[in-house]
């Protein structure tokens, strides 16, 4: 009988192992060298997609914490590799760890200026990672025009802002190769910090899938900012501005949920892949959906505000 149970347990273990996402060995490369070096990790799929598509993924952490090799990044790398994508997880400078800059911009009325700094340097590093990826596409075995940008929270802000800066010719995106555009941009609980208080794209951005919790007060679902100051526009306002300009995009709104959406890629990987497939086929129209997920439930992140986040 014990032998039978051991056989059953072994068989179950093998089934679980077979069902687990297949992840290649991690390859690490430097992509920016200045006072400090920034690195990225490459994860290659066992069975690459026929179109050689790739995903550049940015971690979250409020511009004060996080790294390219945190457990969540490895989890999404495994999931996306299992769908055939080469995944490139990148580091970027964390502006709120710059004590001199934080001290210089201390106080509520300087908060917007501080966040501009944090986002600007993150966008510069994302642009540098894109430049490295395009230059090394043959070595990576990917198609440089089929690179998707995704991110969580601060990473989501960065990828959304990168594409906004790219189409508006802003210097933060200067290292993006000429003529290059993301195949798609998928921010999880992201937003745009707008200097002109009105969102406007000078040319069409990349196909964009916005995913946001309607109760999010960390990266506000609608907008955040002091009167007469620049605003952080969340998915609701970004979508409204895109509709006004006739820019096709998808928005997925999750009622009753806050910033938990920042880590929802594992639960929404089918939506992610469906959108990217549409984008790569050049067939993106506007979709406005309200969804719920039984596994996506309110936690302390729904109750927290932006200021609560930085009090931790």
pLDDT digits over 232-254, tens only?
999 999 999 999 999 999 999 99
User: What average pLDDT score do residues 277-287 get?
Assistant: 95
Is the confidence at residue 261, as pLDDT, over 80? Answer: yes
Using CA atoms, how far apart are residues 191 and 235, in angstroms rounded to an integer?
A: 6
Do 208 and 249 meet the contact criterion of CB atoms below 8 Å apart?
Answer: yes
Q: Which two tokens mark 84?
A: 């055939």
Can you give the pLDDT at residue 181? 98
The CATH number for 243's domain is 3.40.50.1820
Q: Tell me, what's the pLDDT at 83?
A: 98
Which of 215, 217, 155 is closest to 185 using CA atoms?
A: 155
Number of H helices, E strands in the chain: 10, 12
What would the two tokens of residue 50 be? 């026929």
Judge whether 147 and 53 are in contact, CB under 8 Å: yes
Q: Rounded CA gap, 112 and 8, in Å?
A: 59
Give domain status of residue 3, yes or no: no
Q: Residue 279: phi, psi to the nearest 5?
A: -65, -45
CA atoms of 90 and 92, how far apart (whole Å): 7
Q: How far apart are CA 244 and CA 27, in angstroms?
A: 43
For residue 190, being part of any structural domain is answered with yes
pLDDT at 69: 95
**Per-residue model confidence as pLDDT tens digits over 25-58:** 689 999 998 778 999 999 999 999 999 999 999 9
pLDDT over 70 at 23, yes or no: no
Tally of structural domains, the chain: 1
In a domain, 34, yes or no: yes
Residue 235 lies in a domain: yes
Identify the domain containing residue 79 by its residue range: 23-311
pLDDT in tens, 183-192: 999 999 999 9
Residue 108's pLDDT band, with cuts at 50, 70 and 90, is low
**For the chain, percent of residues with pLDDT exceeding 70:** 87
27 within a domain of the structure (yes/no): yes
Structural domain includes residue 198: yes
Q: Nearest CA to 40 among 152, 133, 159, 120?
A: 133
Rounded to the nearest integer, the mean pLDDT of the chain is: 89
pLDDT tens for 143-183 read: 999 999 999 999 999 999 999 999 999 999 999 999 999 99
Does the residue 7 lie in any domain?
no
Integer-rounded Cα radius of gyration of the chain: 20
**Residue showing tokens 């690490």:** 28
Question: In the chain, what is the straight-line distance between the N-terminal and C-terminal CA atoms, in Å?
Answer: 53
Domain membership flag for residue 5: no
The pLDDT value recorded for residue 17 is 36
């Amino acid at each position: 009988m014990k032998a039978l149970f051991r056989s059953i347990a072994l068989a179950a273990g093998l089934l679980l192992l077979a069902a687990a996402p297949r992840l290649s060995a991690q390859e690490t490369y430097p992509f920016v060298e200045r006072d400090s070096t920034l690195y990225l990790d490459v994860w290659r799929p066992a069975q690459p997609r026929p179109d050689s598509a790739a995903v550049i993924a940015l971690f979250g952490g409020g511009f004060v914490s996080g790294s390219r090799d945190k457990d969540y990044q490895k989890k999404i790398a495994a999931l996306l590799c299992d769908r055939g994508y080469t995944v490139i997880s990148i580091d970027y400078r964390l502006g709120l760890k710059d004590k001199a800059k934080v001290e210089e911009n201390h106080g509520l009325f300087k908060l917007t200026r501080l966040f501009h700094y944090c986002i600007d340097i993150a966008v510069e590093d994302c642009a540098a990672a894109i430049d490295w990826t395009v230059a090394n596409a043959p070595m990576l075995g990917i198609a440089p025009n089929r690179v998707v940008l995704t991110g969580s929270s601060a990473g989501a802000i960065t990828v959304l802002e990168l594409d906004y800066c790219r189409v508006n010719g802003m210097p933060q995106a200067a290292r993006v190769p000429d003529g290059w555009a993301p195949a798609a941009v998928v921010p999880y609980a992201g937003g745009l910090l707008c200097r002109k208080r009105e969102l406007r794209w000078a040319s069409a951005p990349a196909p964009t899938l916005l995913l946001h919790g309607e109760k999010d007060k960390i990266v506000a679902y609608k907008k955040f900012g002091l009167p007469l100051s620049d605003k952080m526009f969340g998915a609701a306002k970004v979508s409204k501005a895109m509709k006004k300009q006739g820019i096709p995009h998808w928005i997925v709104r999750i009622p009753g949920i806050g910033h938990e959406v920042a880590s929802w890629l594992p639960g929404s990987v089918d939506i992610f892949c469906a959108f990217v497939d549409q984008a790569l086929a050049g067939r993106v129209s506007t979709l406005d959906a309200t969804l719920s997920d039984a596994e996506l439930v309110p936690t302390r992140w729904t109750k927290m505000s932006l200021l609560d986040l930085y009090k931790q």
